[in-house]
Chains A and B, each alone.
Chain A
Amino acid sequence: MLESPHSKPATLFKVVRREYRDSVSLMQLSSSLTKMAGVSQASAVMATENNLALLAEARFEISGSDAGAADLLIVVQGDAAALPAAIDTAVAHLTRQADVGSSAGRAAVLPRSIQSALADAPSANLVLVSTPGEYAGAEAMKALRQGLNVLLFSDNVPEEDEVRLKQFAKERGLIVMGPDCGTAIINGIPLCFANVVKRGAIGVIGASGTGLQQITVLVDNLGLGISQAIGTGGRDLHSNIGGITFSTALSDLTADVDTKVIVLISKPPAPEVAERILSEAARAGKPVVVNFLGADRANISRPGIYPAKTLEDAARTAVDLARGIAPRASYDLSLPMPSGLPKLALEQRYVRGLYSGGTFCYEAAMLLDERLADVYSNSPVRPDGAMKDVWHSHRHSLIDLGDDVFTRGRPHPMIDFRLRNERIVGEAEDPETAVILFDVVLGFGSHADPASELVPALRRAGEAAAQAGRSVIFVAFVCGTDRDPQGLARQTQALREAGVHLMQSNAQAVRLAASIVVGRAPARARPRDVRPVA
């Protein structure tokens, strides 16, 4: 195995105390370790003074070991990512009683509990739980009790369980991501619903999955990468949970040398929690970009903290900071109206947003509400903006189709397009619809080819409007990268060919939609700060 000439290979070692194995099996151990992918050198030697000196001379980094001559020292060198698995193999080689060889061909019993999985992979440090919510808390507790971090994808975990899990984790230096954590990227591995993005210097902590997806995708599209992306679950910054996971993640990213800029995203937290998180963030010693969707940025601003209005602003601010450029106060780009927009009929006055991502819908409601009156949503920014009947649009309607009302008994709209497709056609048939606004989310976990589902529906919607002598304008954005399994380029091409006006971000798509209808529909009387619904 050749090493890269420029990067110093990583070293990992493990001291096995008073474990006497005969020389032949030690030799077999060394040679099987050396054959593992990503391992350039391996050695299993007694930790004598002379051997320690020899290892140091061969530039194995083994300082801090307290191994003595009676101990066996296993050292592996190579690709950092491959080493813990190599050590696992070695330890398994030494400790597991080799009954497998006697019955080759017979499948071993697969692990049925976290504990037995841990016996198979002792290096594991994270358990991803996606069981039904009523059982998820207990599984998470078992993981924590065995010293493992937890990502709780499951929703419907009672809040009191969340409190007890997070407090337990905190006492033991562990983290609980979630519950209802839809997205995380840990060490470049996308977990649950996540996009394939470059690794880099920007660490993200987010209460919402789609928010994390938007930030990580935009950072990637802007040419930089993500160090870690940590989902906290939507309730973490509620006052009774008190932001335990945010706080742990913040200190982990603060300590992480690969993270140069930190981004925090959430709906506005409980004020006392916000205050504590922000003061912790201010002490991070690295720039922290904060996007508390809809919160007053003046309350957030303090030295070292960069408030951002939208997810896109947060991504751009972080990218500028990571590049050493002074970030702008706002990235509200004045975009030219695209050419070739069809002429709308007089009564076509409203934007109809059909979202699969909840945070996108909320951000859209916030941005649209700034410019237009009569904005309604099932994810409203103001109490009087709540939709009375989510099944029927009224004026400007922004619908989060991931809401429980729609997902009961069927898969999430990122996977199952039937409901949204019906609704797209339905909105096109409504003579008041001017713009149909929607999101397309790529990445692991999402539908394998969203465009193939959407395009026929968009065509039917266009035909329905045409039959009534109208045209509807489709405005959308794709949250994804070229390395996502669905391929950004393929998806955008198919959607463009179907006549969709594609923007780079949710914020841009919402602004375009607003620009199309502004003047046709009543504008908000005067711009005002949006008071969020707590």
Chain B
Amino acid sequence: MHNGGVDYAERTVMAIVSATTVSASTLASRAAKHPCRVTACGIGFLVPLKLKNATVHSVFARACNIETQDGTLVTLLDYRLGNAPHGIACEVPDSFAFNSEIRPGTKVSVRDGELTLEQTALVVDLSRAVRWSGAPSQHAVDPTSRATRNSLAMIWRMLQDSSRSRGLFACWSLPNETASPLHAALLRRLAVCLPLLARGTVARDATTIVKALSAMIGLGIGLTPSGDDFIVGYLAALWSQSSRDATLPPLLGLLRAPLESMIAKTGAISRQLILDASAGQFSEPLVDLVRAIADGDDERVAITAARALRIGHSSGADALLGLLLGNDPRAFAASISNQPVSNQPVANQLESIALDA
């Protein structure tokens, strides 16, 4: 998710973004004019051309969600977070915080290439923004290649690194004193759904996959619950192989309708992410990572995965876990069943559940 307080200091420079460097002082001078203008540098592929009766849905320091009449969420983003399918990446200065200026409920209008947030000084100039597509299908990943296997193993190790172990994966490694019955319940559920999803994915069996995904949607901590981020990562993996693996496009087609009805079971922000994912559109950090995997470039995989891990509190970690399962379900099932459970009572409870691939 894009809502965390994450700073992408070492962001790879993108042509459309690097054109302007905006500092706080330049914004200050802009604010002195009427009104305060911010330039958008990227517009997501799925952002509608017209925002009818749009209002601010929710606002965070580095992102602002705008809800349109039909419930679509378009997100104004600090460009440092990267583009998103329904995102408008804005060149805001370092210290800028959307939530110091904007409140939920603020009316939003678009006219003459300008997005105006009523009752605030903020106007977003859309005229110079470039349309950005977050389709990983152009960067085909071959899960059977050695380079891909190496990349996935590296991501797995990064997730295991206890110092940043977060989200769903952290359930395995929580020490006795911090693991609560809630974590135990979560782990018991994962112990059932993850193998199920792995089996379904190997078999390309949409029914099994839907069964597993619907047990995960809206599950866990976070504004976008962990399960949702996991599903997005999982779908990114499937889409990234879809131009190479002929069994995947029909499977993704079959999943779309169940996913669209499933999203009623989670919050609005997750809903938009999963909808975008089911349409094959993902956020820039995830697309960058997938592209690095497809290219078999170890170094870029390390950098982009590290960056993805820093999304939100656990959103990035959960998406990576999904990406691992989607890319190589067999290896995932084997690894996850070998993953030691550090919490003894939970481990005992898990023994009754078969962890098979």
Contact = CB atoms under 8 A, between A and B. Distances in A.
A9 to B, nearest CB: 10
Nearest to A27: B313
Interface in B11-62: 57-61
B269 A22 contact: no
B185 A24 contact: no
B227 interface: yes
Interface residues of B, number: 42
Nearest to A59: B181
A58 B182 contact: yes
Contacts of B314: 23, 27
Chain A CB within 10 A, most for which of B5, B61, B180, B314: B180
A70 B267 contact: yes
Interface stretch (A41-49, A103-111, A123-131, A490-498): A41-49
B59 to A, nearest CB: 8
Interface stretch (B203-211, B215-223, B320-328): B215-223
Contacts of B58: 18, 20
Nearest to A2: B177
Nearest to B263: A69
A449 to B, nearest CB: 45
B185 A54 contact: yes
Given A46-B266, A58-B180, A59-B181, A24 B220 contact: no
A45 B180 contact: no
A44 B180 CA distance: 14
A57 to B, nearest CB: 4
Interface string B183-227: 011101100000000000000000000000001111111111101
A21 B63 CA distance: 11
Given A24-B4, A58-B184, A58-B185, A70 B223 contact: no
A290 B28 CA distance: 76
A43 B267 CA distance: 17
B289 to A, nearest CB: 19
Contacts of B220: 45, 51, 54
Contact of A23 (B184, B188, B315): B315
Contact of A50 (B3, B215, B313): B215
Interface in B152-184: 180-182, 184
A86 B57 CA distance: 28
Contacts of A50: 215-219, 225, 227, 265
Interface in A442-488: none
A23 B218 contact: no
A48 B267 CA distance: 7
Contacts of A59: 181
A60 interface: yes
Given A48-B218, A51-B219, A58-B180, A23 B224 contact: yes
Interface residues of A, number: 28
B312 interface: yes
Nearest to A28: B313
Given A46-B267, A48-B217, A50-B227, A20 B60 contact: yes
A26 interface: yes
B4 A41 contact: no
- Chain B CB count within 10 A is highest, among A45, A48, A57, A58, for A48
Contacts of B61: 22
Interface in A62-90: 69-70
A55 interface: yes
Given A20-B269, A46-B266, A70-B268, A27 B219 contact: no
Contacts of A24: 4-5, 312-313
B1 interface: yes
Interface string B243-275: 000000000000000000000111111100000
Interface string A11-32: 0000000101111101100100
Contacts of B5: 22, 24
Contacts of A55: 182
Contacts of B104: 18, 20
Contact of A69 (B4, B215, B266): B266
A352 B256 CA distance: 94
B313 A49 contact: no
A57 B184 CA distance: 9
B181 A41 contact: yes
Contact of B182 (A18, A22, A43): A43
Nearest to B59: A20
Interface in A275-295: none
B267 A54 contact: no
B218 A46 contact: yes
B344 to A, nearest CB: 15
A30 B216 CA distance: 21
Contacts of A43: 180, 182, 221
A48 B225 contact: yes
B217 A22 contact: no
Contacts of A21: 60, 223
B100 to A, nearest CB: 10
Contacts of B269: 20
A71 B103 CA distance: 18
B186 A69 contact: no
A22 B313 CA distance: 8
A54 to B, nearest CB: 5
Contacts of B3: 22-23
Contacts of B265: 48-50, 69
Contacts of A27: 221-222, 313-314
B223 A26 contact: yes
A54 B182 contact: yes
Residue among A23, A34, A59 with the most chain B CB within 10 A? A23
Given A23-B1, A45-B222, 6 more contacts: A22-B1, A45-B221, A50-B265, A51-B225, A54-B219, A58-B181
Across the A-B interface, give the 9 residue pairs with the lowest CB-CB distance, nearest first: A48-B218, A20-B58, A23-B313, A23-B222, A58-B181, A50-B219, A57-B185, A22-B3, A23-B312
Interface of A: 18, 20-24, 26-27, 30, 34, 40-41, 43-46, 48-51, 54-55, 57-60, 69-70
